[in-house]
Structure 1
Amino acid sequence: MKLGGTALALLALATAMPAMAQDAPKGDDKKAAAPIPAPVVSVTRHSGTFGGQKISYRATTGETYLKDKDGEPTAAIFSTTYVKEGPRDPNRPITFLFNGGPGSGSLWLHMGAFGPKRVVVPSDARDDGAPPFPIIDNAHSLLDVTDLVFIDPVGTGFSKALGKTEAKSFYGVTADAKSVAQFIRIWLRENGRWNAPKFIGGESYGTTRSAAVVNELEATFNDVSLNGVLLISTILDFGAQAEVPGNEMAYVVNMPSMAATAWYHNALAERPAQLEPFLVEARAFAIGEYASALLKGSNLPAAERAAVRAKLSRFTGLSEQYLEQADLRVVPGRFYKELLRSRGLTVGRLDTRYTGRDYDAAGEEPDNDPSFYGIDGAYTAGMNAYARETLGLKMDREYVTIGGLGSPWDWNIGGGDLTYYRNVAPYLGKALRENSGLRIFVGQGYYDMATPFFGAEYSLTRTGIPTDRITYKYYDAGHMMYVRDADLAKLSSDIRAFIRAR
């Protein structure tokens, strides 16, 4: 996974300009030859009650070095492992988890959902405020049913490139997946768990990564077979959800989430008593009448346009006048600003339960996402305090919560036409077809517009994807549904049942 080098050109340069090499400052030579230090690792022992069971466990946090074919270190992958202590159980599962971005560390799932400790933020979609933030025992951790490994890919958390390897050589769908798969193989070897039941899972772009990692683990001759994949706040088909002119599917998959949001904020002209039956109607309208109208484009008859516009207003809470001005096509950014404009409020993107106040109410889109700035301070402080104090980690660099790797990211998926239509769902379809023991868990928040629930459903019902081993669960919160206490308990219970059913 090194960047391509031109060895002949470098050799020619060295031959043509020997004086430059001879006259190079000695300090530079020493810097280039400086040895890579040993990995930083901390091991501590703890106990807690998870899923109603008292568990003693060993926590190992620190670096694992990836190496190239010549044995040279290329990257330090930071991870935190929790392994139950006691008699060895060869049938005890191991679950590898990561977050998304790309560029996000694993602190969200680690400190919010499944780790033995969690940071507490308001459950009712209020801002997290200022420190100190409570860090408490997490009774909902999955340690009663599985050992856990939280992974930070290169560019996130404390992970980084090493030696002559450039960090950007890991920044891409395939390169990133290869590095995570390499880490998993190393972990299985070093911990003697090759024949243990195995699960991988991620949140947001972490679901994209999950599909790509499945392809790296199972689509080779040296397979690492998996028992399950956990997809939390799913984004697999970037083509269908791309907000570009001419792509009508983006409006279709977003519409049911807009309906859920309007229902939550009581912004509908006639609000149904229950959300889920309302969303059954919204889904049917989105994939039926609405999709048909959008695909007709300029050929849409006036009477049909008027009927669709009226129904779209009923579902989204937006006025027919606004929908007409938007040509029946409302991008999410406009929706966040328009839905509650009359109240002087915007709604969140990651979690539309959250509301914020912008500099003024006249803009086209919100100033910021209140559902992100409502929690980020607590998680950053919580992860750093917990790792450095409770787990005893001695690290001389900052933990990268969100690294912003989206810009240099190589979105090429498998080459060929997939360069243009970015969709990793076929990886999961292939894995399901070729591994009869593989199952997929899909967890979606109704109020998530970053990765809308109908987008997940659409991407996983395409041709070639067996649907009989896919389990869907839904939550009354957004992207990080576990920030709501009731949904943390439900998510933990749902995944615990999924793992036990292997």
Structure 2
Amino acid sequence: MKRRSLIRCAILTGIMTGTALLCQAQPRGGRGAENVAPPPVNPATESKAAVVALPLDPTGYIISNSPNIPAPVSTKHSISIKGQLISYTATTGYLQLVTEDGKPKANIFFVAYTKDGVADRTKRPMTYTFNGGPGSSSVWLHMGIIGPKRVLMSDKGDVLPPPYRYVDNEYSWLDKTDMVFLDPVTTGYSRAVTGESDKQFHGYEEDIQSMGEAIRLYATKYDRWQSPKFLAGESYGTTRAAGLSEYLQSKYKFYLNGVVLISSILNMQTARFDIGNDLPFPLFLPTYTATAWYHKKLDADLQRDLKSTLKEVEAFALGEYHTALMKGSELSEAEYTGIVNKLSRYTGLSKEYIRQTNLRIDIHKFDKELRRTDGLTVGRLDSRFTGRDYNDVGVSPEFDPSNDGTISGPYSAAMNHYVRAELKFKNDLPYEILGGRVQPWNYNNVQNRYLNVAESLRKAMAVNPYLKVWVLCGYYDLATPYFAAEYTFSTMGLRPEQKKNVNFTFYEAGHMLYVHKPSLVQVKKDADRLYDEVMKEINAAPLN
């Protein structure tokens, strides 16, 4: 059987039941999962491209350049990075997943940036980029840190007055790597096609398979198999990246050079405040301390130097505090009182409140309690930011002042304008920035246990000894705390030679660490080192 422009792709299988949103709390009144499949395109933009029939892969999905999706749009641009003028091409469009019998299933929206004038693409890295949620588009990494444009905010990260602006991103990674930003199904402009349930893509395994296929399809269509390959994800995007590192290598023999984990969460047990799971309490404690330090709620001796204070707290968290939680009701009164006193000292919370929590401080309760007497709450994604609730008697904040009250509006406005005005891609669908349409997210692959994709990354590193992993952490990130990320890597069983391929960097910022201008500047320097190190290793390899 022959069909128009058919290219091989992979099986997407499984219908799974779900649990809650992982790395982004849902605002009250937000939309839940919907079985919505709006028309994917504007008919006026239908492609009239020539067709070439290729063999059908009977084992999986295919991509079809059919007339019911718009042709990719390419535009020319330039940007100055570190004094170097970079001319580049932006390509915006869809990768369409189609069943083996030719039926379209979903359209994956992408924006790619490739440097012009590159004669040898085998020497030019390609970075495949996405955010998390689950339920988030790639807009945050796209227009916050990696792409050629960035949303303009204050140096601290405060939102400026609407209608908001974006500017050339002089800290873009485009001088070091080409890049493609991918939106999972039901985020951005990506949708299941009319008549198909979007829920078939809303789960850990389904997401890995569909996003893995989108990466393979892009590499095939745009001839990037011979390029050095990187993944870059943020938040749940790091969960996806770790899963993809093994999936791409095992399924397609698509071997990677690097994985970038921004605000990493690989082991969900480290962030689930469930009864009976005491692991998060010591792992969140250093970020509670950093937050109290920032808001000047600690004793004078602890306020002198943040990093010295955190070292002291980390030792207490892994030692005395962890042991106390393990002992539970077997703690003596003297031991219990000693832990109360130290927790109060390291969090800025009252001893009475610490006793009321039974030594177990939940993240949302901390956000409400730290500055309750000031009538303020602190942010979850970035605890430097504060908000004000209707009243001060609640248990947890009404909203996250570092998300709903800060960054969502500017990024939404920027992306919706930029795609049409500069990338010339016309689409009347709403660009889904970050919402609840993917809920519930399915985890049938880990029934009665926590999802832990650290093992997937370990396997990928074991098979591929050249795979570099870079972990970026913000001290004020209460969604994916830095100490939990360190714990995950220290307990995932890496061999000494593998540990040398892992690099951690830390910033005085929150979850979206790039909204803090000094951190954005430093991240660019750190990114340059990663790509330079990988390319040096590649160039040093023998040619025969």
Against the structure 1 CA distance between its residues 130 and 209, is the aligned structure 2 distance closer, same or farther, given a 3 Å change threshold? same
Would the aligned equivalents of 1:40 and 1:395 in 2 still touch at CA under 8 Å? no
- Give the structure 2 partner of residue 298 of structure 1: 329
- Give the structure 1 partner of residue 261 of structure 2: 231
Instruction: Say whether 1:66 aligns with 2:134.
Output: no
Instruction: Say whether 1:340 aligns with 2:374.
Output: no
Q: 2:211 aligns with which of 177, 180, 186?
A: 180
Would the aligned equivalents of 2:13 and 2:206 in 1 still touch at CA under 8 Å? no
Would the aligned equivalents of 1:243 and 1:331 in 2 still touch at CA under 8 Å? yes
- Give the structure 2 partner of residue 143 of structure 1: 174
Would the aligned equivalents of 2:79 and 2:87 in 1 still touch at CA under 8 Å? yes
Cα deviation 1:150-209 (Å, max 9, x = unaligned): 110101000001254321100011110111110111111111111110000110010011
Q: Which amino acid aligns with 2:228?
A: P
> What is the rounded CA distance, in whole Å, between the counterparts of 1:66 and 1:492 in structure 2?
34
> What is the rounded CA distance, in whole Å, between the counterparts of 1:84 and 1:231 in structure 2?
24
* Secondary structure at the counterpart of residue 501 of structure 1: helix
Q: Which amino acid aligns with 1:157?
A: G
Aligned pairs for 1:38-117 (under 5 A) are: 38-89=69-120, 90-117=122-149
Aligned pairs for 1:353-372 (under 5 A) are: 353-372=384-403
> What is the rounded CA distance, in whole Å, between the counterparts of 1:112 and 1:382 in structure 2?
10
Instruction: Say whether 1:254 aligns with 2:284.
Output: yes
* Secondary structure at the counterpart of residue 77 of structure 1: strand
- Give the structure 2 partner of residue 482 of structure 1: 514
> What is the rounded CA distance, in whole Å, between the counterparts of 2:98 and 2:83 in structure 1?
41
Structure 1, unmatched stretches of 5+, are 5-34
Aligned pairs for 1:198-277 (under 5 A) are: 198-220=229-251, 222-270=252-300, 271-277=302-308
* Secondary structure at the counterpart of residue 154 of structure 2: coil
> What is the rounded CA distance, in whole Å, between the counterparts of 1:3 and 1:215 in structure 2?
19
Against the structure 1 CA distance between its residues 405 and 209, is the aligned structure 2 distance closer, same or farther, given a 3 Å change threshold? farther
Against the structure 1 CA distance between its residues 405 and 430, is the aligned structure 2 distance closer, same or farther, given a 3 Å change threshold? farther
* Secondary structure at the counterpart of residue 153 of structure 2: coil
Structure 2, unmatched stretches of 5+, are 1-11, 16-65, 535-544
> What is the rounded CA distance, in whole Å, between the counterparts of 2:208 and 2:125 in structure 1?
21
Q: 1:496 aligns with which of 523, 528, 535?
A: 528
Would the aligned equivalents of 1:441 and 1:472 in 2 still touch at CA under 8 Å? yes
- Give the structure 2 partner of residue 458 of structure 1: 487
Q: Which amino acid aligns with 2:462?
A: R
Would the aligned equivalents of 1:51 and 1:141 in 2 still touch at CA under 8 Å? no
Tell me the CA shift for residue 476 of structure 1. 0.7
Q: Which amino acid aligns with 2:267?
A: D
TM-score (norm 1): 0.90
Cα deviation 1:432-488 (Å, max 9, x = unaligned): 111100010000100000011011111111142342211000011100010011111
Would the aligned equivalents of 1:73 and 1:162 in 2 still touch at CA under 8 Å? yes
Against the structure 1 CA distance between its residues 494 and 202, is the aligned structure 2 distance closer, same or farther, given a 3 Å change threshold? same
Moved over 3 A (4+): none
Q: How many corresponding residue pairs?
A: 467
Instruction: Say whether 1:165 aligns with 2:165.
Output: no
Q: 2:468 aligns with which of 439, 460, 468?
A: 439
Q: 2:449 aligns with which of 417, 420, 424?
A: 420
Instruction: Say whether 1:449 aligns with 2:481.
Output: no
> What is the rounded CA distance, in whole Å, between the counterparts of 2:13 and 2:71 in structure 1?
23
Instruction: Say whether 1:329 aligns with 2:360.
Output: yes
Would the aligned equivalents of 2:258 and 2:468 in 1 still touch at CA under 8 Å? yes
Tell me the CA shift for residue 406 of structure 1. 5.6
Against the structure 1 CA distance between its residues 46 and 152, is the aligned structure 2 distance closer, same or farther, given a 3 Å change threshold? same
Against the structure 1 CA distance between its residues 322 and 357, is the aligned structure 2 distance closer, same or farther, given a 3 Å change threshold? same
* Secondary structure at the counterpart of residue 201 of structure 1: strand
Tell me the CA shift for residue 356 of structure 1. 0.8
TM-score (norm 2): 0.83
Tell me the CA shift for residue 41 of structure 1. 2.4
Would the aligned equivalents of 2:130 and 2:182 in 1 still touch at CA under 8 Å? yes
Q: Which amino acid aligns with 2:480?
A: T
Q: Which amino acid aligns with 1:192?
A: D
Would the aligned equivalents of 2:157 and 2:517 in 1 still touch at CA under 8 Å? no
